[in-house]
Chain A
Amino acid sequence: MALRVGEAATRRVSIGFRPEGGAVNVTEARLDRIRGPIQPRNHNARTIAALSSNPGCARRAVMDAAGVDKQQVAAHAGFPAPFGQSRFALSRGNAFEAQVKADGCAELLRLLREHLDLPIPEASYADLEEAGGNTSREARYARTRALLARAAASGDDAGTMFDHPLLRLGVGGRPVYLEPDLLAFKLGHQFHVVEIKSFAVIDGQADGDKVAAAVIQSAVYVLALRQVLGELGCGPDLVADEVLLVCPENFASRPAGAALDVRRQLTVLRRQLARLERIDSLLEALPPGLTFDLARGPDGAVQRPRAELADALAVVPARYTPDCLASCEMCFFCRQEAAGTTAALGVTALEDLGGVEHIATALHLARGSADAPGVQAEAAVLLRAAARLRQECLGEAV
C-alpha cells in the first residue's frame, strides 16, 4: 500500500492560479460551497487514476474537484465505504519506504546504478516536503517549481533526487495539486520518476492489479512533472517514459527495481483527462445552493439531516459500475441508487443484455411483454431467444 507522507493539516483553500481568472474564482467559490467550511482534500495519483477509469461519473468528478471528504459524507449518508486500511499494511509500507530511503537513499542508489547506469557513487538529495518551514500547498509548489527549473536549466551531470515534490495537474479544466509519494531523479538531461511500493515481486512476477495500479499512478506523476516543466518552457522529452518501480523482492524486504514503460498509460490518461467534462460545465447543471457540508457543530457533531444530504448527493448524477467497489468511497451509496439497473450486475451483463439499462425492461423484452422500440429491437430478439432456451431446459418461464 502506498503511503501518503505529509498530509499536513495546515491546508488553505486554494484560489485559482490564473491571474485573469474571474471565471476560475467563480468555480472555486462554488466548489468551496459544495465542500463546506472544511479543509479540502488533496488529489493524489490514486484519485486521478480512479477518476480517469470512470470519466463519466459526474458525482465523483465534482466531489473530488471540491476536495470533499467522501469517506465522511458516505458514512453520514448511511453508506460507509467498505474499505479501511490495516495498520499492519501501513506500517509495512512505511518501513519499506524508510528502508529504501535510509542512509542517504543507499538502497535506492544501488538500484539506480543497476537500472539507469548511474555513473557516480552518490547523488544529492532535496526534500521538498516544506518550503522554509511553510507547508502550504502554494509555498511547496513554488519551491518545487523553482528547484525543478534550476535543475532543468543546469547542465550539471550529477544526479539529484527530489523527495516529496508537490505537483500540479489540470483536471477537468482546473488545476489540482498532487501530493505524490515519489522521488524524481534527475540524471544528465532527463528526469526519472521513481515509485516505491511495498507489494512483493516474486520470481519476477507481481500481482497484476497492483502493478497496473502502480503503473497508472506513475503515469500521472510523469504527466504532472511534464506539465510543470512544460510551463517552464521545457519539452516533454525531459521526463523519461520509463519509470522505476521499487518493490521488495521475493519474500524478503530487500528492494528490487523494475523499469516500466508507461507510454501506453500516458496515452490513455491524456485521452481520459481530455474527455473529463470541464468542471464548470458540470457545475452549471447543478442548483447554485448545492452543498455536501455536514454542518458540524462546535462539538464536532454532524447537524446536517441525513435525508437532506442524501437528496443533495442524488442531484449530481453518478455512473456506478461494480469496479467502483474497489476504488471509490461513495460506492455503497451509488450501488443502492443503481439497484435495478443492468450496470449494477457488471459490465458484461450490461453488454450481454443488449445494453438495456434496467433489469425490469430487459426481462419484459425477454418475455415479449413489452414493445421493443427501434433501438432495442435487436436486443429483444436476442433476449427472447435466450428466454426460450432457458424455458426449454428448465421447464419454467423466465
Chain B
Amino acid sequence: MTTLTSLARARAAERGHAEPVCTVRHLHLSDRPLVFVPLTLAGEACAPLAAMIGDDPRAPRLLTVAQPRNRDQRFAFTAELAAAVIPYLEGFSAASETVLAGPGREERTRYCDAPQVLVPGPAAITFTRMLGRSTRFRRTDGPYPVPALVPLLGRWLTFLAEHTEIPGSCLLVAATDALSLHWATGQSPAEDLNLAALTGWISPPAGLTGSQAAAVAEDPLTWPPAGPATDPTFDNEVLAPLMEACDRAAVSGDEPAMRRARLALDQALRSQLIPAWELMWQAVGLLRSLPPGGHVAARWDADKDAFTFHAGHLRDGGPPQPRRDSAVAAARRLARLERLQASYGAQRAFDDPLVMAERRLAGEAFAGRVTAAEPGRVDRSGRRAVLRPRVTVETSDPVLAEEGSVVTSPARPAQEARIVSVSMPGGRPAQVVLELSKGMGRGLTAVAGSVPAPGEQVCYATFHDGYQPPPAFPEPDQTPWTHGGPLQPYVPSDEDAQEAWS
C-alpha cells in the first residue's frame, strides 16, 4: 500500500463507502468464468467437504462428501469435481489462432481463448494447490487405482495454482484480491479477506452504508464464511450431527435412512455455499463495470500461451509437475517472476493515471505541462547530425530522477527522454528539460505529433515496460555443486502414486 491508497481507506472510513483506487480494470475477465467455491473439513490437511461450481450463475453444481475422512469418498469427490472442471478447461482447446509473438516475432499457434477459474479468496487458491498436489501423482492402475480424470484434474489444478504467482495472470483469480486491487475499504486488509464484508463496502444493499453492510457480513449465520474453512459453530452444531447420521446409516445399511441423511447434509452444505456463490457473481459484475486497462489483453495473451503450452504438455504425455522445483528451475522461475513483477507494475501505471499517481508521489514519475519545445533541434556534435528535440516540462511533483537518466512517457512508450536539467526554484513548480530520441521518424524533422507541443499535459516515468533479456542460468545438468549438483531427472515413483491420503 501507499499513502494514496491509505488516504483512500481513510476517506472510505469517513464516508462509509469504498473508494476507487484504480480508474480501469487491471485484470482480464472471461465472458464465461468458472466459479469454484470449495469447503474443507477443519483440522485435516486437505479433506474436501463440499464445493459449488459452475459457469452459469443460475445453475450452480453442488458436490458434497458425507465422510471427508474416508479415502474412497474423497476420490469419488475428486472424480466428480474432475467431471465438472475438465470439460470446461478442454472446451477452450477447440479453436486456435496463429500470431507473431516474442522478441523475434516468430509465428506461434495458440488457442483463441483460455479458461478462467474464480475462487473466493487466497485460502481457496492454497486449497486448489493442495488438492492438485494430493491428486496429480495418482495412478489409474496398480494398487489404489483412481478414475483417469483424477490425476488429470490434479495436474490442471497445480497448473492453475502455480500460475497465480505470475503477476497479472488471470487464469485463477481470488475475488477478494481482485476487488481489493480496485477498491479501498474503510477497514483493514485483514478484514478485506471476508468476501461478504468487502462487497458490502463496495456495493452495500439498499438502506445500508458500506460499514453497516460489512458489520452485518461478519455474522456467520447471515453470511457463512466463503470457505474453504467453515464456521466452527456450524461444524459443531449442524455438520457433526448430520455426518454422524450419514455414518450410522452407512453402518446399518439402511438405504432410505442413508438417502434422508445425505439429503439433509447436502441441504446444510448448500445453505453454507449459496451466499458465497452469489457474492462471487456479484464480484464479477462489479469488476465488469470497470473498463479494461490497455495492457490487460496483452497479459491475457500470455495466459493463453501458457494454457496452450500446458495442454500440449499433457497431450504429449509429459510428466506431472515435480514435488519441488530443481535449483535451476527455481532460479529461472524467480528471475522471471521478478521481471514480470516490474513489468506488471509499469503496465498498470501506464494504463491508469491513479496508479501512476502513486508512483508520482513516490518520486518515480512526474507529470505536468510542456512550457517550451524545440521540435527541430539537431545535435551536430557527433559524426552524424541527429534529431534531438528538447522540451521543458513544468511539474509540481517531486522530481527525484537525476540529470542524465532516461524516462519514458506512457503516451509515447517507444520514445526515450533524457533528463538534461532539473531546476527547482524554491516554492515554485520544478522545470525539467528533456532531450528526446527515437520514435520521431527517420529524417531530421520530427513527424507531426511525435514531439510534445507547448501546453500539452505529459507524464514521464523512471520505469518502463521494455523487453529485458533473461539472465543466464546453467542447464539443469550443469547445476553447480553449491546448489546440489547436476540434477537427476524427475521420474514419478510408485511411492508418489500410492501416498496415503487419510
A interface, CB within 8 angstroms of B: 1, 82-93, 198-200, 202-204, 248, 250-254, 322-323, 325-326, 340, 342, 344-346, 348-349, 352-354, 359-360, 362-363, 366, 382-383, 385-390, 392-394, 398
Q: Which residue of A lies closest to B130 (CB)?
A: A202
B354 touching A390, Cβ below 8 Å:
yes
8 A–B contacts from the bound complex (CB under 8 Å)? A86-B43, A86-B232, A202-B130, A203-B323, A252-B501, A353-B10, A362-B7, A389-B360
Q: Do B7 and A346 touch across chains, with their CB atoms under 8 A apart?
A: no
CA distance A27 to B434 in the complex (A): 71
New A-B contacts (7) at CB < 8 Å, excluding given A325-B191, A352-B3: A90-B43, A204-B324, A352-B7, A359-B13, A359-B14, A393-B353, A398-B7
A345 with B188, Cβ < 8 A, contacts A340-B13, A359-B13, A398-B11 known: yes
- The stretch from B93-101, B140-148, B233-241, B258-266 touching chain A is B233-241
Q: Which of B282-328 contact A (CB under 8 A)?
A: 323-324
**A-chain residues with CB within 8 Å of residue B23 when the two chains form the complex:** 393-394
Q: In the complex, which of the residues A250, A346, A354, A389 has the most CB atoms of chain B within 10 Å of its own CB atom?
A: A389
With A86-B230, A359-B14 in contact, do A345 and B43 touch (Cβ < 8 Å)?
no
Which residues of A are found within 8 Å of B133, using beta-carbon distances?
A: 202-203
- Interface, chain B (partner A; CB < 8 A): 1-11, 13-14, 20, 23, 41-46, 130, 133-134, 186-191, 218, 230, 232-233, 235-236, 239-240, 323-324, 353-354, 357, 360-361, 396, 398, 499-502
- How long is the Cα–Cα vector from A346 to B137 in the complex, in angstroms? 41
Report Cα–Cα, A221/B9, bound state, in Å.
40
B187: min CB distance to chain A, Å: 7
A376 nearest CB across to chain B (Å): 14
B410 → chain A, closest Cβ, in Å? 13
Q: Are A385 and B42 in contact (CB under 8 A)?
A: no
Cα(A254)–Cα(B23), bound, Å: 51
Interchain CA distance A82-B221 in the complex, whole Å = 12
Chain A residues, CB < 8 A from B398? 385
Contacts of A352 in B (CB 8 A): 1-3, 5-7
By the criterion CB–CB under 8 Å, are B232 and A83 in contact? yes
CB proximity of B138 to chain A, nearest CB, Å: 11
Partner of A392 from the list B7, B43, B240, B357 (CB cut-off 8 Å) is: B357
Hey, which chain B residues are within 8 Å of A326, CB to CB? 190
Q: How far is the CB of B53 from chain A (nearest CB, A)?
A: 22
Q: How far is the CB of A89 from chain B (nearest CB, A)?
A: 3
Q: Which 9 A-B pairs have the closest CB atoms?
A: A92-B43, A200-B45, A89-B43, A252-B500, A352-B6, A322-B188, A86-B42, A84-B232, A346-B188
Q: Taking the nearest CB of chain B, how far is it from the CB of A154, in angstroms?
A: 40
Q: Which residues of B contact A252 (CB under 8 A)?
A: 499-502
Chain A residues within 8 Å of B1, by CB: 346, 348-349, 352
Q: How far is the CB of A358 from chain B (nearest CB, A)?
A: 10
Bound Cα distance A82, B43 (Å): 18
Complex Cα–Cα for A363 and B502 (A)? 54
A350 shortest CB reach to chain B, Å = 8
| A90-B43, A252-B501, A325-B191 known; A82-B218 Cβ under 8 A | yes
CB neighbours of B396 from chain A (8 A): 388
Does the CB pair A359–B42 fall under 8 Å? no
Contact of A363 among B10, B20, B46 (CB under 8 A): B10
- Verify B43–A91 contact, CB threshold 8 A: yes
Residues of chain A within 8 A (CB-CB) of B499 are 250-252
Q: Given the complex, which residues of B lie within 8 Å of A251, measured CB to CB? A: 45-46, 134, 499-502
Chain A's closest residue to B191 (CB) is: A322
A353 and B188 within 8 A (CB)? no
Q: How far is the CA of A251 from the CA of B218 in the complex (A)?
A: 32
Chain A nearest CB, measured from B24 CB (Å): 11
The interface residues of chain B lying within 8 Å CB-to-CB of A344 are: 13, 187-188
* Docked-complex contact A322 and B190, CB < 8 angstroms: yes
User: What's the least CB distance linking A312 to chain B, in Å?
Assistant: 24
A199 neighbours in B (Cβ, 8 Å): 45
Shortest distance between the CB of A255 and any CB in chain B (Å): 13
Choose from A86, A248, A346, A382 the contact partner of B236 (Cβ within 8 Å): A86
**Residue pair A362, B235 in contact (C-beta under 8 Å):** no
Q: Which residue of B lies closest to A248 (CB)?
A: B45
Chain B residue numbers with a CB within 8 Å of A354 are 3
The answer on a CB contact under 8 Å between A345 and B233 is no
Kindly list chain A residues whose C-beta atoms are within 8 Å of the C-beta of B239: 88
Inter-chain contacts of B45 with A (CB < 8 A): 199-200, 202, 248, 250-251
The answer to whether B8 and A390 touch across the interface, beta carbons within 8 angstroms, is yes
Closest-by-CB residue of B relative to A89 is B43
Residue among B3, B14, B361 with the most chain A CB within 10 A?
B3
Taking CB atoms, residues of chain B closer than 8 Å to A348 are 1, 6, 189
- On whether the beta carbons of B10 and A346 are closer than 8 Å, the reply is no
CA gap between A373 and B319 in the complex, in Å: 65
Question: Which residues of B sit under 8 angstroms from A398, Cβ to Cβ?
Answer: 7, 11
Give the complex CA separation of A387 and B5 in angstroms: 11
Q: How distant is the Cα of A253 from the Cα of B69 in the complex, in angstroms?
A: 11
Residue of B nearest to A353 (CB): B6
Cβ contacts under 8 Å, B236 to chain A: 84, 86-87
- Residues of B within 8 Å of A383, CB to CB, are 3, 7
CA distance A92 to B44 in the complex (A): 7
| Pair B357/A390 contact, Cβ less than 8 Å | yes
**Do A389 and B357 touch (CB < 8 A)?**
yes
Within the complex, what minimum Cβ distance (angstroms) separates A81 from chain B?
Answer: 11
A349 and B20 contacting across the interface, CB-CB below 8 Å: no
Give CA–CA (A380, B467) in the complex, Å.
Answer: 39
CA distance A137 to B125 in the complex (A): 45
